[in-house]
Amino acid sequence: MGKAMFEKALVPVNNSDLSARVAAKAAELVERGFVASVVLFSVWEADEIDYSKLFSTDKEAELKAAARAVLDQYQSQFIEASIAAQTVRVGGDPADLIIKAVEEGDYDLIIMGSRKLNKAQELLFGSVSDRVTRLVSVPILLIK
């Protein structure tokens, strides 16, 4: 097929059915030659930790381990399909960290999920994909 259309895609994942579809689509795009390489990106949400509590380090370790398990799960699926995938695990706000990764990295595509939120839910909870879409300059493939 020749040179891939996209050299390096950022693929944010978590422990959801939607992320399973995102990872499957990313693998398909690599297999078809549209994407040369992927980076699986998992965020443990630091805002879930109350650092003033005695067991906050336990909670942080639990969240980090869960993010690592998600990355290991998807990376093993990529390995089974003979696709090399790098992994990145970070802590904080998912939208902020995805945007920062794209600004600081050499990504030319984001492949991510988009939950089906109505306008009220979006106002109350916010939408990571909506925020990322508005604030990055690289193409985004949204999977529903």
* Token pair in block for residue 24: 């499957």
**Has this prediction a pTM greater than 0.85?**
yes
Strand 109-113 to 85-91 pairing = unpaired
CATH architecture of 6-143: 3-Layer(aba) Sandwich (3.40)
Ordered per-residue pLDDT tens for the chain, 144 residues: 579 999 999 999 999 999 999 999 999 999 999 999 999 999 987 666 565 665 677 878 889 999 999 999 999 999 999 999 999 999 999 999 999 999 999 999 999 998 765 554 444 445 788 889 999 999 999 998
Give the residue from 20, 38, 25 showing the smallest Cα distance to 83.
Answer: 38
- SS3 at position 139: coil
Indicate the domain borders of the chain: 6-143
